[in-house]
Amino acid sequence: MSGGPAVNGGPTAGGGLSTNGGLSTNGGPGVSGGPTVHGDLAELRERARAVLDPAHYDYYAGGVGDEVVLGENEAAFRRLALLPRVLRGRATRDLAVDLPGGRLALPVLVAPTAFHRLAHPDGELATARAAAAAGTVLVSGVASTVAIAEVVAAAREVDAGAAVWFQLYPHPEHDVTACLVRRAERAGCTALVVTADSPVFGRHRRDAEHGFHDLPEGLAAENMRDLPGGPPGGTRDIAMSPAVSWADLDRLRALTSLPVWLKGVLHPRDAVLAVEHGAAGVVVSNHGGRQCDLVPAAVDALPAVVEAVAGRVPVLLDGGVRGGGDVAVALALGAAAVGVGRPVLWGLAAAGEAGVARVLDLLRDEFDHVLALCGGRDPADLTRDLVVPRGTGVSARCG
Ligand SMILES: Cc1cc2nc3c(=O)[nH]c(=O)nc-3n(C[C@H](O)[C@H](O)[C@H](O)COP(=O)(O)O)c2cc1C
Ligand SMILES: O=C(O)C(=O)c1ccccc1
């Protein structure tokens, strides 16, 4: 799995021969205080498959339609190669990046995914603790099974300076959106992420086959409780609406002084509109292949968005990131950082907080290693000329 003994491995030893070890927990101190979990991402995924109800595993794993985009997100990374630079004399590495809404100790954050208590009883509390311990941001979804105030509190118990962002869909009823924004602010979130790629729900065949349409008894979308127009004490549905427009983004921004990211941008023109409408940044994403099965892989859509934004705001990418090499490629193509969705769910299902810690530690360690192999000192050393189409070895731009 990992290549040879740890030779000057930088911040972590990482690459030694002893890292194998399956999924056993050894009871020693983990990154965030729990047991240390071994195993790579593929093993964690297999463990998750073994422990989860098949309907819940398929809910997490699945995509829209024929799942073309789901596969393409990962395949597109494998069509790209890195052209390392050598002898750059970078003795140390610093993986941190500063973004509107917080500093990340590694250029990887936790993308918003729904219903973590389907994966593990600790749900989003475990994810928040592991993200905080790793020094990165959890983007906590409106569709979380723990209320946002508790999610932020869990992160802050681990690290008083931890940053948690709140993801929401602009609700067709503005007072519902306003209430959600207020809850996120009161909870202490440091940024909002507005998901724009879901005017309608994606149609997921796996969910239909399992008849999986409702959360099990005892679980609910806790942020949707006690909202205007909803039953007292009960929850409202997470509404998606094709009527949502840029005017809704303007109205949402007017409610808050928090940075607002726009997630689910693929068209360069929309990225420009996002900047013009005051977005603090854009997230290039096809929702992990769960919305439209006709769109490009996320990493294939990235360069045109980066070019259109032209450095005015940071660009994030999510979709198909499965290793530190993918992180490096995305950064070289202009992403400031990447989000990971499913790998975090596999870690959570396999081993709760320690499993999520393992996923983030693997990505940090692999990214650090690849950065070193590229002669990089920090993410800024990963430039566009370092990425070439696999099979060519020729850089589009040499300079
Ligand atoms: C089970 C699941 C639930 C998701 N729920 C949300 C959500 O509520 N809001 C959102 O903006 N994105 C959601 N996403 C999309 C993720 O934020 C992210 O775009 C995607 O998972 C990235 O792809 P990856 O899983 O290949 O890393 C969800 C993804 C999954 C797999
Ligand atoms: O499953 C999803 O991808 C998703 O985005 C979502 C949205 C609302 C409720 C639950 C999940």
Q: What are the per-10-residue average pLDDT scores of the chain (399 residues)?
A: 30 31 39 73 98 98 98 98 96 97 98 98 99 99 98 98 98 95 98 98 97 96 96 93 96 98 98 98 99 98 98 99 98 99 98 98 98 98 97 62
Residue 28 token pair: 């020693």
**pLDDT score recorded for residue 39:** 87
Give me ligand 1 centre to Cα 40, in Å. Answer: 21
The bridge status of strand 281-284 relative to strand 315-318 is parallel
Both ends of the chain: CA-CA distance in Å?
A: 34
**pLDDT score recorded for residue 23:** 42
Cβ of 114 below 6 Å from ligand 1: yes
Question: Which ligand is nearest to the Cα of residue 289, counting in written order?
Answer: 1
Give me ligand 2 centre to Cα 238, in Å. Answer: 8
Cβ of 263 below 6 Å from ligand 1: yes
Compute the distance between CA of residue 307 and CA of residue 315 in angstroms, rounded to an integer.
Answer: 10
Cβ of 109 below 6 Å from ligand 1: no
**pLDDT score recorded for residue 36:** 86
**pLDDT score recorded for residue 49:** 98
Pair 146, 116: CB distance under 8 Å? yes
ipTM of the complex model: 0.99
Compute the distance between CA of residue 106 and CA of residue 341 in angstroms, rounded to an integer.
Answer: 16
What are the helix (H) ranges across 193-297? 205-210, 246-254, 268-276
Q: At what angle do helices 174-187 and 246-254 cross, to 10 degrees?
A: 40
The one-character DSSP state at 203 is -
**pLDDT score recorded for residue 224:** 97
The bridge status of strand 387-389 relative to strand 337-340 is unpaired
Q: What is the DSSP string of 40-56?
A: -HHHHHHHHHHHS-HHH
**pLDDT score recorded for residue 339:** 99
Cβ of 285 below 6 Å from ligand 1: yes
**pLDDT score recorded for residue 361:** 98
Side-chain-side CA neighbours of 123 within 13 Å: the count stands at: 24
Give the C-alpha distances (Å, rounded to integers) separating 186 from 179, 214, 220, 229, 255: 10, 29, 21, 21, 13
Question: Which ligand is nearest to the Cα of residue 56, counting in written order?
Answer: 1
Residue to substitute in 58, 145, 290, 316 for testing ligand 1 pocket (most ligand atoms within 8 angstroms of CB):
290
CB atoms within 10 A of CB 160: 8
The bridge status of strand 80-82 relative to strand 387-389 is antiparallel
Compute the distance between CA of residue 321 and CA of residue 288 in angstroms, rounded to an integer.
Answer: 10
**pLDDT score recorded for residue 35:** 78
- Phi-psi category of 128—alpha, beta or left, where left has phi over 0 and alpha has psi -120 to 50? alpha
**pLDDT score recorded for residue 2:** 31
Side-chain-side CA neighbours of 355 within 13 Å: the count stands at: 30
Cβ of 191 below 6 Å from ligand 2: no
- Phi-psi category of 245—alpha, beta or left, where left has phi over 0 and alpha has psi -120 to 50? beta
The bridge status of strand 108-110 relative to strand 337-340 is parallel
Give me ligand 2 centre to Cα 227, in Å. Answer: 19
Strand partners, 168: 194
* CA-closest residue to ligand 1 atom 5: 113
